[in-house]
Amino acid sequence: MLLTERRRQFLKKLVDLHRMTRLPIHYGTLANVFF
């Protein structure tokens, strides 16, 4: 299964946030980054 560009962006941001905080990332937090 190939990932769309949008899904790649989503996953990259998720990993970046997790690396910065070392905490679980709530979906709402991630959504705020995109909007």
Give the predicted TM-score (pTM) of the model: 0.75
Residue 25 is classified by DSSP as -
pLDDT of residue 14: 94
pLDDT of residue 11: 93
**Domain hosting residue 10, numbered range:** 5-34
pLDDT of residue 33: 81
**Structural domain tally of the chain?**
1
Pairwise CA distance, residues 33 & 31, whole Å: 5
Torsion angle of the four alpha carbons 30, 13, 25, 7, in this order, in degrees rounded to the nearest 10:
70
Q: What is the pLDDT of residues 1-35, one digit of tens each?
A: 899 999 999 999 999 999 999 999 999 988 888 77
Q: What do you get for the CA distance between the two ends of the chain, in Å?
A: 27
